[in-house]
Amino acid sequence: MIVLAANHLVTLGWGTMIALGALHQLLPAAAGVRHEPGRLVVAQFTVHLAGVVLLTVGFWWRATPVLITGGGAIGASVLISALTAAWVLPRRTRWSESLTLVVAAIISLVLVTAWGLLLALNWRFAFWPALLGPMGLVVHLTLGLLGWFGCLIVGVSYYLLPRFTSRRSLEGTRVRTVAALLIGGAGVILIGAFAAPWFLRLGLLVVGAAGVTYAADVRAFAAAWRGGRDVTRVHWQILLGETAALSLGVIAYALGLLRASATSWIVAGIALYLTGWVTLAITGQAYKVTPFLMWYYRFALGMPAYDVPRMAAPYWPRGALPSLILLGPAGPLISLGVLTGDPRVGGAGGIAFFLGSCVFAYLLGYSWLPRLWRVRGRAVPAPPL
């Protein structure tokens, strides 16, 4: 139960909460729609945070009524984002392959939230015994890890990377292939959860192929990065290695080449995925996106919208390197500790993850608050498209 509590703090409290906040800005911008969410974001944040707390307490205490209440609050928060997307997308003035992946991610988020609530209800009332077995977990993991985080991060990266590098368009990339393989592979895995097990391996092979193809595109973007020191570029260089490692690992598992403990490989892979790939994808982009929103939008300093992310080093604060040094090896160390069965290695990764998170949280979170409070009374311009 402690593991489940920690897992949902990472997925819902960290990854999903920051992603939902970012989507209020990025989705309208990508669709070419001017949208100001206003106080709706505050209400959603309050509901979501309450749901995360209740969900964590429910797991910790094994209290299913608390768990169900927390799951319902998370569902309400997700519904707000889904309805916002449903309002924005029909009014779009442009479309891209990135938006296709983001839409797939939002649909997956709605489904995984509903499925999680169903699991909690079933744990309480036991109306579907099969959900307590591997099938229920496979569906939840597939929708959450591949459908939600996978499609979202890949889709957003194809939107942001042309704005960070000298490669200004998606021409020559394999974004459509990646989208088809990733979404299709996740769908095949879901079929395998209810049908023959060989569908699971086939789906994993397809997802692994999507990862390898995506890694090739990331490599091309990284090679087109120009300028001086850039902490976001370093993050993407690490992400390139982790993308390749995770993709090849999934392919090896699907082919039956990993003959040691299957559970250890699965747990190690998920740990690297969440504390490495997902976390570094979020933190790496934040060094560009946060100054963009703060400088251009919130503080209205007059810098052209496209100039901020294309500066040679738009944000390399003193704390960036300590945070990167701590968070970079944290995920691999946690995974290595799982594979070797050595709690000292995993514990070192956990400590590094905690300390790196503290540095990052202050650097790009709480350090902005004094300035934010000083400008709250000023007129705020509409967010740029």
Q: Which of 138, 150, 110, 247 is nearest to 195 (CA)?
A: 138
Is the residue at 173 inside a domain? no
Looking up tokens 């990135």 gives 98
**Domain, as residue range, for 378:** 272-385
Is the residue at 36 inside a domain? no
Is the residue at 347 inside a domain? yes
In whole angstroms, what is the distance from residue 296 CA to residue 305 CA?
Answer: 7
Q: Do 79 and 40 contact (CB within 8 A), yes or no?
A: no
Is the residue at 346 inside a domain? yes
Is the residue at 172 inside a domain? no
Q: Where are the alpha helices (DSSP H) in the chain?
A: 2-8, 17-31, 39-61, 64-88, 97-125, 134-141, 151-164, 175-194, 198-223, 231-254, 262-272, 279-291, 307-310, 320-340, 343-364, 369-375
Structure tokens at 273: 């995925």
Largest CA distance in the chain: 61
Is the residue at 360 inside a domain? yes
pTM, whole model, 2 decimals? 0.91
Is the residue at 2 inside a domain? no
3-state class (DSSP) for residue 157: helix
Is the residue at 231 inside a domain? no
Looking up tokens 């604060």 gives 317
Number of compact structural domains in the chain: 1
Residues recorded for the chain: 385
Per residue of the chain (385 residues), give pLDDT as tens: 999 999 999 999 999 999 999 999 889 988 988 887 778 899 999 999 999 999 999 999 999 999 999 999 999 999 999 999 999 999 999 999 999 999 999 999 999 999 999 999 999 999 998 888 889 999 999 999 999 999 999 999 999 999 888 888 889 999 999 999 999 999 999 999 998 889 999 999 999 999 999 999 999 999 998 767 788 999 999 999 999 999 999 999 999 998 768 889 999 999 999 999 999 999 999 887 776 665 544 444 455 555 655 555 456 777 789 999 999 999 999 999 999 999 999 999 999 999 999 999 998 888 777 766 766 655 555 544 4
Cα-based distances in Å from 312 to 232, 283, 287, 364: 11, 18, 13, 19
